[in-house]
Amino acid sequence: MKGFKELRIDTPYAGGKKILVLGTSKFLLPCANGKFFNTGHHSTETLVPMYHFDKAGFQFDFATPDGAPLALEEWTFPMAVGYEDKLHEVRNKFKGQLEAPLKYEDIDEGLDSYAAIFLPGGHGPIIDMHTYESLGKLLRSANAKAITTITLCHGPSALRSAAVGGDFPYKDYKIVVFPDSMDKMSPKFGYLPGYLSEDYLIESKLKALGCKVQNKSMDDSICVDRELITGCSQQASQKLAAAALKVLGEKFGFKAE
């Protein structure tokens, strides 16, 4: 990601609601050739938004399917040229929670304690997040209550869980998402160690559920449609955080830009 900068917080959030970070504890993504990609949540896609949310005055709760530590792509930290220290700062601040999160099923479906939900990206979410009915219940509740829901890159795969055990609430929503074309291309230049099965190509899966994908390539685009804020790729991490804080600021009476 290029363009990291501090956001100006004129009046930090002073309310009691938190941001709920819902992620995976899984690291190994199987490829069609039997090899595994060592993944998790991309450090920039996870910690850049968290850094800005923290500076704006928000606290966090974290949850994974099994209560195991949130999976982070350790090898992506050195890619954060010029702002890697910010990633380590926020990670260290919330280290205890990241290593001992709640389980999805521990979260009250009423979501009364939360100002927003954050579904960070990285290839980790496509391993399993779309399969959990407990996660789907939380997302359907967030949609029904218009709770700001923030996600980027492969994180939107988690939205698919809302179709498990209920009606998919994001039909006809405009989104941006990591394109299938890039996942199909990446084994050719050695990023993925093999091709992904169709179930892991999330752009086509979300389109089949009725989402209206706006981007054609991997870029820094973001999209705000009702309560859902999406970013296309790691490149959008800074812009996603700024857009989310603008929405939350208007909703809760603080200013960040």
- Cα dihedral value 193, 197, 198, 203, nearest 10: -30
For residue 168, pLDDT over 90 is answered with yes
1 pLDDT more than 90: yes
Q: What is the pLDDT of residues 91-108, one digit of tens each?
A: 999 999 999 999 999 999
Q: What tens digit of pLDDT does each residue of 35-89 get?
A: 999 999 999 999 999 999 999 999 999 999 999 999 999 999 999 999 999 999 9
Q: What is the pTM of this model?
A: 0.98
Neighbours of 252 (CB within 10 A): 17
pLDDT number for residue 224 = 98
Residue 255 is predicted with a pLDDT of 87
pLDDT above 90 covers a percentage of the chain that reads 98
pLDDT for res 151: 99
What is the share, in percent, of the chain residues with pLDDT greater than 70? 100
Say whether 211 is catalytic. Answer: no
Q: How many CB atoms lie within 10 A of CB 112?
A: 9
Catalytic residue among 153, 211, 223, 232: 153
* Mean of pLDDT over the chain: 97
Residue 256 pLDDT grade (very low, low, confident, very high; cuts 50, 70, 90): confident
Task: Assign 175 a pLDDT band (cuts: 50, 70, 90).
Answer: very high
What domains sit in the chain, N to C, each tagged with a CATH number?
9-256 (3.40.50.880)
**What is the mean pLDDT of the segment spanning 207-225?**
97
Selection from 218, 157, 220 nearest residue 191 by Cα: 218
Task: Give helix then strand counts, H and E, for the chain.
Answer: 8, 13
For the segment 170-199, the average pLDDT, to the nearest whole number, is: 96
| Alpha carbons 158 and 218: distance in angstroms, whole number | 19
